[in-house]
Chains A and B, each alone.
Chain A
Amino acid sequence: GAGVSQTPSNKVTEKGKYVELRCDPISGHTALYWYRQSLGQGPEFLIYFQGTGAADDSGLPNDRFFAVRPEGSVSTLKIQRTERGDSAVYLCASSLSWGAGGANVLTFGAGSRLTVL
């Protein structure tokens, strides 16, 4: 597609449930990133992929969070045993490559707003 697509746009769940958030990057972009944005804050890095592999997952807050990108395109962020503190907007971004010494321009999706009751 023309831009980064994220689904669902809104997700309301109950504490303790499992959630999956999907990201469809720009066609041809090999690098994919997940960020989390809490209300009134800047986005915080979670993980990024180069192709199918996670190049850096140091931003994942704990082992309840996991992300996959099995075919090097679509990615799914998975959250187990959700907690109220997980409520945030989860942003996905993609770029042509992941290297270039930090020069890559990221194109962001509109985000998935997760609310944990």
Chain B
Amino acid sequence: AQKVTQAQTEISVVEKEDVTLDCVYETRDTTYYLFWYKQPPSGELVFLIRRNSFDEQNEISGRYSWNFQKSTSSFNFTITASQVVDSAVYFCALSEETSGSRLTFGEGTQLTVNP
């Protein structure tokens, strides 16, 4: 069965600090996809990134970067020089090739960036 664990329930940082959100997943499929979504107070989940299981290259997009390591089943998300607008709940999610586009989400990490 697929499972996603986000051990950090809440993180609080001061603006301009770097912060890493952890994500650990479990799956029996060899082909799967990992996602990060952001949920601001408005409630709408916003897609950030998708990685497939065959591509372990780290990715950087502006202040965001992702570290995918199959050896540890982790897909961590780092925000560099955090800003107040980054405050939100962040969800890691997994979909398996055999389950279509059915996403399994983690519990989420509430990130608060203080000025």
| Chain A residues with a Cβ under 8 A of chain B | 3, 31, 33, 35, 40-45, 48, 55-56, 59, 89, 91, 93, 95, 98-111
CB distance from A45 to the nearest CB of B (A): 5
B contacts with A, residue count (CB < 8 A)? 30
Give A101 to B32 CA distance when docked, in angstroms: 8
Given contacts A43-B91, A108-B45, A111-B43, contact A103 B104 (CB under 8 A): no
Q: Which of B32, B47, B102, B105: most chain A Cβ within 10 A? A: B102
User: Does B42 count as interface, using CB distance less than 8 angstroms?
Assistant: yes
Please state if B44 and A108 are interface contacts (CB–CB under 8 Å): yes
How far, in Å, is B95 (CB) from chain A's closest CB?
A: 4
* B71-86 interface (Cβ within 8 A of A): none
Enumerate chain B residues within 8 angstroms of A102, measured Cβ to Cβ: 31-33, 95-102
Contact partner of A48 among B33, B46, B101, CB < 8 A? B101
CB pairs A–B below 8 angstroms (20 shown): A42-B91, A42-B93, A42-B105, A42-B108, A45-B103, A48-B100, A56-B100, A59-B102, A89-B43, A95-B101, A99-B100, A101-B97, A102-B98, A102-B101, A103-B50, A103-B95, A104-B95, A106-B45, A109-B44, A110-B44
